[in-house]
Amino acid sequence: MKCGIEMSEMIMREAIKKALEESLENDPNVLIMGEDIGEYGGAYAVTDGLLKKFGPNRIKDTPISEATFIGAGIGAAAAGLRPVVELMSISFSLVGFDQIVNMAGNLRYMSGGQISVPMVIRAPTGAGVQLGATHSQSFETWLAEVPGLYCVCPSNPKDALGLLRTSIKNNNPVIFAEPALLYGSKGEVPEDYYEIPLGSANIVEEGNDITIMSYGAGMSIIKEVNQKLKESNISVEILDLRSLNPIDYKTIEESIKKTNKLVAIDTSRKNGGIMAELVSNIQEKFLDWLDGPIIRIGAEDVPWPYNKDLENAVYPSSNKVIDKIYQQLLN
């Protein structure tokens, strides 16, 4: 129990499955489609058992053709259904970019609001699980730039459940990026029903000396950094973006006004990532509140290695973050 709220422990994949199962039970227009989501239960076992419970009309295995089944999902959404389309990896969204960007993102605007596309595209994202260069991309950072698309990325089971509930009910297309590294991560989830609004960041822990923000798997790095900085009596405010489009600039502003220092961590590549755009906007909007440079840390600009030691070398680490903080903000 937490502050009078009944809580239960859940892993990330269970939280995502719970949101899917609830939606299938409560709304006959919801269906799920994607590669190996039926008999196989999904690449990360999220949809395991749903075919048996809801049948092949609601749980649809598709060919290995992302452009085709993403397009089918868009058509189904435009016709009044609420499809949840699962990709085996967000790396494969490239095959369907025309459908996602030009069709899903634009249909409502091009039709003057006459056609809505209430669909969710779920996809594992990110490196850290030794899947090599072609299966370790973080293209939510690209898709977050597309007008007409919402884009969220949870870092824990509670947020995964609350955000997916909201995403499925939304009348716009939502990119739901799921960190592959976190499917087995545990966390407390409220027993009572709740939803989390899209476009809302979360202050995970309040602090006074420095704000450190990230999303998805990057939040695990922040926890390690926080533990080490606490040993030096440095108070960290931890900010989880949760939503990459839209961005909750109000929460960011309030945090920066309190700490006057900002560190932005991205587990995708530093060059051209969502944090680059975010930091640029923060500089324009809130520069007067900053006492030093914004520190931005991301993965190295190389293809993701398969070798674990090399993957770790490319991936941002708590030691890299702490070194930069002391060099640039606390020297």
Instruction: Tell the burial category of 42 from Cβ atoms under 10 Å away from its Cβ (0-12, 13-18, 19+).
Output: buried
d(CA 328, CA 20) in angstroms, rounded, equals 44
35 is catalytic: no
The answer to whether the bond into 173 is cis (omega within 30° of 0) is no
Q: Is the dihedral of CA 92, 67, 165, 245 positive or negative?
A: positive
**Which residue type, as a one-letter code, is found at position 303?**
P
Token code pair at residue 222: 């922040």
Q: Which of 66, 86, 140, 237 is catalytic?
A: 66
Q: Which of 14, 35, 86, 135 is catalytic?
A: 135
231 is catalytic: no
**What is the set of active-site residues?**
66, 135
